[in-house]
Amino acid sequence: MPSSTVQSFADPWEFQATFRAAKVHFTAAGKYQSKLTRINMHRLWMHRAAISLPFVAHVAEQKDRVGIHFLTNEHQMPIWQNGRELRPGMIAVSPPDTEHYCRTSTGVCWGSMSLSLADLAAAGRALVDCELTASAVTGLIQPPPHLMTRLLNLQEAAGRLAAAAPDILEHPEVCRAMEQELVHVMVRCLEDLAIGPKNYSHQRGSVMRRFEHFLEEHPDSAVYMPEICAAIGVSGRTLRDQCGEHLGMSPHKYLWLRRMNLARKALALADPTATTVTTIALDHGFGELGRFAVQYRALFGESPSATLRS
């Protein structure tokens, strides 16, 4: 069951007690303030934290979960993980059941996400056609900037929903949409950890046919890249190449257009006295309602409420 909490602290020991994976020792005097956002989705867990003072932390990772950690403010000072510099735009990857030390010279804003080993392996096979692995020690990687920016934006959007509208974030379809997006981008960021040969050209002739058959089998349901790739047996890169060639756009854009059209169809067929734009938007995985309305108008030339009324 999806859940989220947002808590603020004026006492560092309350923060430490809440964030059970870490033991934190603060290294500077001053007014302490921190904020912790914790979101548990179906398979993906994530945290966002902002802490006002420098600290040294001993972090013990969960058993059977691979954790990734990163700075969420591109202008902040680097921190150190086991003596190695972690700068904005980089990711620290921590294997399950391992421990590491983190130290900062200033206050810090950071985020983390984790998947079980089995879920990470399945997502790697589906999206990058390879196993994803983590070494026995914490490692640092630097994903392509556009993927890192996308990951930060998605995590920030989830944090905003947890703070302002947790009921929306906990809506099954909204949570599913956000989790699928986060897993997709997370796996793309971790692609350098893949092991084994990548085969991007296998069964190319039938990829689009299997893709369309999958969509036909789910005519009124929102679907997402990770589950499609797993179901039709191709990597995300192969599907991106094929959709670019045949559709002139990425599968991500194509699936977004499909979801928008499914929402439009639902609005057009709905009884305006019995449902609302909000209900239909949430049922199709659109959690940011203002953004949905703007994009809907840009795409269809009218507001969602106008479609519903007509």
Q: Tell me, what DSSP letter sits at residue 62?
A: P
Does any domain span residue 106? yes
Q: How many domains does the chain have?
A: 1
Q: Is residue 71 part of a domain?
A: yes
**240, part of any domain:** no
In a domain, 152, yes or no: yes
> Is residue 221 included in any domain, yes or no?
no
Which pLDDT belongs to residue 47?
93
Residue 308: inside a domain: no
pLDDT, position 144: 92
pLDDT one-digit tens code per residue, 244-283 = 887 888 888 888 888 888 898 899 999 999 999 999 999 9
Contact assessment for residue 33 and residue 10, using Cβ atoms and an 8 Å cutoff: yes
Give the residue ranges of the chain where pLDDT is below 50.
199-204
The whole-number pLDDT of residue 23 equals 67
pLDDT at 202: 43
The span from the CA of 150 to the CA of 185, in Å, is: 7
Give the model's pLDDT for residue 203. 47
pTM (2 d.p.): 0.75
Cβ atoms within 10 A of the Cβ of 301, count? 8
Distance CA 166, CA 78 (A): 31
CATH at residue 141: 2.60.120.280
Domain that holds residue 159: 3-192
Q: Is residue 27 part of a domain?
A: yes
> For residue 20, is it within any domain?
yes
